Amino acid sequence: MSGKLIVIDGIDGSGKATQTDILVKKLKQKGQAVETVDFPQYTQNFFGGMVRKYLDGQFGIPTEVDPYLASILYAGDRFESSQKIKDWLAADKLVVLDRYYTSNFIHQTTKMAEGEIDDFISWEHKLEFEIFKIPEPDLVIYLHVEPKIAYQLVSKRGSGHDGHDTLDHMRKAEQRSTLLADKLNWTTVKCSDGKKPLAIEKISQKIFKEVKKII
């Protein structure tokens, strides 16, 4: 595969969808052939529909469902979309993803002790890359935002509640993902100054600077 796979991820309220859209537009303006997917694919994929049921609480409270079992649902969703991603990469396209396997780390590790994380990382990598054989990313952009700020942004948005948008979960997810960003060599982009969110364009400039390094 000769294309490049770029992932944008972070806790709820970090601006993933917004920054993905901006990045895709900037790359197209530069004449790049770009494709994009946002995960989960709730309506397009069989497993995406199962993820929706999980988030709606049909299998129990989402933040209490076993992290390994929950991760399989998300991994299945990515597997269903993996062939078209591989095809795009083989066609020398840039592929920008709003969330990927990285989201399993951000959210599911909040359900386990820190000492259990390394085993989960090994299991997750085997599941995604060896069994489902999804393509590995060339760059993971981790959007870091303070939990209180993210919570305020999500509250204003007024989207559905699935347990991932509570302040308690956001605090846990921020702690875990900050640890994992260092452990897994994600590129961290700060999205706030500690008191308020940075301007959307300023964040997008930071992201584009990192993307230019690999294209």
Ordered domains of the chain (ranges, CATH) = 4-212 (3.40.50.300)
CB 19 within 8 A of CB 112: no
Q: Is the pLDDT of residue 200 over 90?
A: yes
pLDDT bin (cut points 50, 70, 90) of residue 44 is: very high
Return d(Cα 59, Cα 63) in angstroms, integer: 11
Return d(Cα 94, Cα 91) in angstroms, integer: 9
CB 138 within 8 A of CB 4: yes
Q: Which two tokens stand for residue 148?
A: 């209180």
The percent of residues in the chain predicted with pLDDT above 70, rounded, is 97
| pLDDT of res. 163 | 66
| pLDDT of res. 162 | 62
